[in-house]
């Protein structure tokens, strides 16, 4: 592999160094969740579903939130569930990507439809777009995904957490519905 390649994934050592410098923040941080080149994130206790039968990209689509009971909750095919990670994260000099864990994928669960990439400056929990192929019982606290971090080459002018039009900047512990309706189109 070329040593001058700019789009490289951070290793466990580099992730730890970035955490020590404050370039990456993971709360709560558990050393046992750090992999060779990723960090495992977990499903928080909150899920949400849209209340309408039809969603409209130009309108606010309300959601109904609920907690996953201790005995778990069975998600169903054909329903989009919004979940959220237990972990709050910040990235100030790398691009975070959220991918599903292979064990979750082998249960037929997708944790994001299209939104796996974060921006430099993203500071929040991660809302998950959960869908499944078969009914599956899920639990709060289960490992659901992994964050990988890509190095950035060049100066950054427009950090996500500094953008006046960023739609997902408010810190939350609950899933956040689509804010597409705030766009002008």
At residue 124, what are phi and psi to the nearest 5 degrees?
-175, 180
**Residue 154 falls in which region: left (phi positive, over 0), alpha (psi -120 to 50) or beta:** left
Q: Which residues of 80-96 are buried (b: 16+ CB within 10 A; e: fewer)?
A: ebbbbbbbbbbbbbbbb
Q: Is 151 exposed, middle or buried (0-12, 13-18, 19+ CB in 10 A)?
A: middle
Q: How far apart are CA 42 and CA 44, in angstroms?
A: 6
Q: How far apart are CA 79 and CA 114, in angstroms?
A: 16
Quote the tokens at residue 18. Answer: 């970035």
Cβ contact 120:93 at 8 Å: yes
Which residue in the list 54, 129, 157, 177 is annotated as catalytic?
129
Q: Is 70 a catalytic residue?
A: no
Catalytic residues, by residue number, are 129
């Amino acid at each position: 592999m070329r040593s001058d390649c700019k789009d490289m994934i951070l290793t466990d050592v580099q992730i730890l160094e970035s955490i020590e410098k404050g370039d990456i923040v993971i709360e709560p941080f558990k050393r046992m969740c750090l992999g060779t080149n990723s960090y495992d994130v977990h499903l928080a206790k909150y899920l949400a579903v849209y209340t309408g039968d039809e969603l409209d990209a130009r309108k606010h689509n309300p959601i109904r939130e609920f907690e996953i009971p201790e005995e778990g909750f069975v998600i169903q095919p054909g329903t989009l569930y919004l979940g959220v990670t237990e972990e709050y994260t910040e990235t100030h000099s790398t691009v975070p990507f959220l991918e599903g864990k292979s064990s979750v994928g082998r249960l037929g669960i997708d944790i994001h439809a299209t939104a796996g990439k974060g921006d430099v400056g993203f500071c929040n929990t991660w809302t998950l777009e959960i869908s499944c192929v078969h009914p599956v019982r899920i639990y709060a606290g289960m490992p659901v995904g992994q964050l990988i971090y890509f190095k950035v080459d060049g100066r950054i002018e427009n950090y996500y957490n500094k953008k006046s039009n960023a739609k997902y900047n408010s810190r939350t512990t609950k899933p956040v519905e689509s804010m597409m309706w705030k766009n002008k189109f």
